[in-house]
Amino acid sequence: MRKAFFGALVGALVLAVAGAAFATAQFKQTAEITYSKHKVNKSTGFHALLTAEDPAAPDQKPKGASKVVVKFPGASMDPKGAGICRTDEATLKAGGCPSDSKVGEGEAEANARPLLSCTPKLDIAAFNYIPPAASSSARSSAKKQKPQLAFLLREQAQTPRCPGQTLVLYGKWSGNGVKSAGVRSSKRRKVNNPKLTVNVPPLVVLGTKVVLTKFELTTDAHKKGKHKFFKTPKTCKGGSFKVKTKITYEDKSSFKDTTKTTCSSPKKH
C-alpha cells in the first residue's frame, strides 16, 4: 500500500452505481469508516468498508444508491496537504494525475448479472482533485473551484478474466472554509467539519444495471510541510471519534449509520 490519504472517502464512498428498484427483507447494508489515528488533532488516515447484499433479490442484486454523504464532525481537511490533480476526466482515466495527488487506494466488487455470471473486481485510486478552469485565461474561475475527491475505478487483473468498466466518481467537499479552500494562494485554507457528498449516476452496460457491492479503501496520513490533508478532531468527546454516513437509494429510501473510533486526549502534566 503506497502512502496516501483518504479523505471519504471514504467516499467516498459509493455502494451502488445502479441496481434493482426495490429491496427484499434480506437486504443488508454496512458502512464502517474509522480513523487510523486515535489521538486528537493528529494527521490521520482511514479505513473505509462499505458493502451491500440482498440474497433474495433477482440475480442477488442489491438496490442502487443515488447519493452517499459522509460527515466527519470535528475533523479538518486541508487540500494543500497533498498534491492536487487539475485535469479533465479523459486524462484522469489515462493515469494523468500527479503521483502525489493520490490520496487513497483499495478495491471494489460489482454485480453485473445476468450479463456476467462472474464478479468483476475493480482497483480504486482516490485523488485530491480540483476541477480545471473552463479556460486557461479564466483565473477568477480557477479560484472558485472547490476541492473534491475523484475516485478512479479500473478493471483488476483476474484469472479467469471478468470484465470491468473504467469509471470516475466525484465526491464534493463542503463545510466551514470550503469556499476558499481551492484558492491558489500562500495562505493556509482548511475545511472544518468536512462533509463529502457523492452523487451516484446510474451505470447501465448493454442494458444491464450494474451495482457495486463492495467498496474498500485504505489510506495513510498525508501531509506537505505544515499542511495536513486530514486531521482528527481537536477533542475526544465521549471517548470516540464519530463518522456519520447516509446513503440514499434510487427508491428514495435511505440508510444511516455512525462509526466510532476509540480516541484519547493528551495527558495533562
pTM for the predicted model, two decimal places: 0.86
Give the pLDDT score at 23. 83
Residue 165: phi and psi, rounded to 5, are -105, 140
- The rounded distance, in Å, linking the Cα atoms of 111 and 213 is 7
Cα distance between residue 247 and residue 243, in whole Å: 13
pLDDT by position in tens, the chain (length 269) = 444 444 334 433 444 444 444 689 999 999 999 999 999 999 999 899 999 999 999 999 999 888 999 999 999 999 999 999 999 999 999 999 999 999 999 999 999 999 999 999 999 999 999 998 765 554 545 556 789 999 999 999 877 889 888 999 999 999 886 655 554 444 446 789 999 999 888 888 888 899 999 999 988 899 998 899 999 999 999 999 999 999 999 889 999 999 999 998 876 64
pLDDT score at 178:
63
Q: What is the pLDDT of residue 29?
A: 97
CB neighbours of residue 109 within 10 Å: 18
